[in-house]
Structure 1
Amino acid sequence: METQTRTSGADTATLGLGSVLVGSLPAALMTDEAPDRYTVEAVFTRRPRPDEIAAILSGRTRDTLAEAGYPTVELAISDRRLEIANTNLEELRDGLGGVLADRLSEISADVRAREEAASVRFQEAAVGEQHRAAAVAALAESVSFRPAATPRPVSGSAPGVRSDALDDRARIDDWTDEGGHAR
């Protein structure tokens, strides 16, 4: 049985953030009209998978941000971008970026561990199924459609002569005909 698993390439790499999309930043940054907080879009290092997206948007991630001192930060995902709302570049630079990187790394490790455990369970089930199929085949091969070895009268035998004695005599005659008898 062959199975395909992803063991190389970008899909197995730890999910992270590569860079900020400068074009998505407010145009008024570093001016007197610059907002204190805004949405910063960061590009993922690869496309997040559905289970990773669910973990990023989970209550566990919100709790992690709150515990780290960022209770008002909100996350959203749009294609290959993480939208980090209610923050600013300074906050990201001074700690929030590291908190997000750590959480994404933790999510990747958890997802990878679950996938590896599922893969092991699948392979164990496949091996078990192969053993079961082999046992069924062996059992089927053990079925014999030969006559039973129970004594029964042979038609035309002399009265009082047991059929197993006749079987023994037939085997001796076969052996004699094969040249195993010394004359």
Structure 2
Amino acid sequence: MTTTDHSTPKTPAPTAYPNPLGLTSVLSGSLPRSLGTATAPEFYQVDAVFNRRPQMEEVAAIHSADILFALSAAGYPSVTLHVSDRRLEIKNTNLDQLESGLATFLADHLAAITATIQTDRLAQQSRLASAAEAEGSRAEAIQVKAARITFNRTPAAS
């Protein structure tokens, strides 16, 4: 008969998110050439480099309406974000906005996205581990019950 380990399942460590998603620098080569001149645009796209390749769930969160709402609530209603490989395209902004708080907002928000996804993933793994443990217990109980069954003939009456 097989026995099942009934110890508390250990929550697996997340491996897809070794560190929070963040930004490292602005790609200055992508900025408008007219910056610093009288013809410079007030708002433009600023490309920033991620510290690592964003995971699929992180990209979905960055492209969601939730982040647009959060940007608007933080005072950046016209700013939009788009992930392009390892770059974040920050549209309808400027270096002054980034320097005066938008960069910090983005850093905090990206880290929070990773933390939320990591928490959700750990909770899902825990639920799956609990379900697997319950299934193992059920299967073991059925096996024990089945092992008690014997097929003996009724003794003959004398």
Measured in 1, the distance between the counterparts of 2:59 and 2:38 equals 36
Q: Does 1:22 align with 2:28?
A: yes
Measured in 1, the distance between the counterparts of 2:77 and 2:61 equals 17
Distance change >3 Å, CA 115–CA 7, structure 1 → 2: closer
Once the two structures are superposed, residues 81-114 of structure 1 have per-residue CA deviations (whole angstroms, 9 ceiling, x without a partner) of 1100111111101100111112112211111111
Count of aligned pairs: 148
Divergent runs of 4+, >6 A: none
Which of 112, 123, 132 is equivalent to 1:126? 132
Measured in 2, the distance between the counterparts of 1:70 and 1:126 equals 46
Measured in 2, the distance between the counterparts of 1:57 and 1:99 equals 16
Unaligned runs of 5+ in 2: 1-11
Which of 73, 81, 84 is equivalent to 2:79? 73
SS at match of 1:132: helix
Once the two structures are superposed, residues 53-98 of structure 1 have per-residue CA deviations (whole angstroms, 9 ceiling, x without a partner) of 1211212111111111111111111111110011111110110011
Residue 7 of structure 1 is matched in structure 2 by: 14
Q: TM (normalized to structure 1)?
A: 0.74
Which of 100, 105, 128 is equivalent to 2:106? 100
How many percent of aligned residue pairs carry the same amino acid?
Answer: 46
* Structure with max Cα Rg: 1
Unaligned runs of 5+ in 1: 154-162, 164-183
Which of 58, 61, 64 is equivalent to 2:67? 61
Measured in 2, the distance between the counterparts of 1:82 and 1:56 equals 9
Q: Does 1:82 align with 2:88?
A: yes
Q: Does 1:144 align with 2:156?
A: no
Once the two structures are superposed, residues 111-156 of structure 1 have per-residue CA deviations (whole angstroms, 9 ceiling, x without a partner) of 11110110000100111111112112112211112234xx532xxx
Superposition RMSD on alpha carbons, in Å?
Answer: 1.9
SS at match of 1:12: coil
Greater share of helix residues, 1 or 2? 1
Distance change >3 Å, CA 19–CA 84, structure 1 → 2: same
CA contact under 8 A between 1:11 and 1:46: conserved in structure 2? no
Residue 36 of structure 1 is matched in structure 2 by: 42
